Amino acid sequence: MNVLILEDEAAAATRLQQQLAIAEPGAKVLAVLESVKDAIEWLRINNVPDIILSDIHLSDGLALDVFRQVSTPAPVIFTTAYDAYTLKAF
């Protein structure tokens, strides 16, 4: 399984990768991106990952803006503590 992680906090990204390694030992993290800008660029030039794990708040905005600008068939799991964005994610 090829995974893209969108997370701007290094400690959270590390924990997410550790949990992923436990849950799916064969998973390959393609990239860990910290910004909306980087995520948009990455998704435009790379093959579609099998899944995207994304925080809501990135270093330069909301991850929701990524998916408004780039269409991807990959399922997205939002990993966030901000429940205020729950409905907006759908």
* CATH assignment at residue 72: 3.40.50.2300
Q: Is 19 among the domain residues?
A: yes
> How many structural domains are present in the chain?
1
Compute the average pLDDT of residues 53-82: 91
In terms of phi and psi (left: phi > 0; alpha: psi -120 to 50; beta: otherwise), the region of 48 is: beta
Q: Is 24 among the domain residues?
A: yes
Q: Is 21 among the domain residues?
A: yes
Compute the average pLDDT of residues 29-54: 97
pLDDT band with cut points at 50, 70 and 90 for residue 80: confident
Q: Is the pLDDT of residue 88 over 60?
A: no
Task: Give pLDDT, residue 79.
Answer: 85
Domain that holds residue 32: 2-85
pTM: 0.89
Q: Is 17 among the domain residues?
A: yes
Q: Is the pLDDT of residue 23 over 60?
A: yes
Q: Is 90 among the domain residues?
A: no
Closest listed residue to residue 14, CA positions, set 90, 83, 79: 79
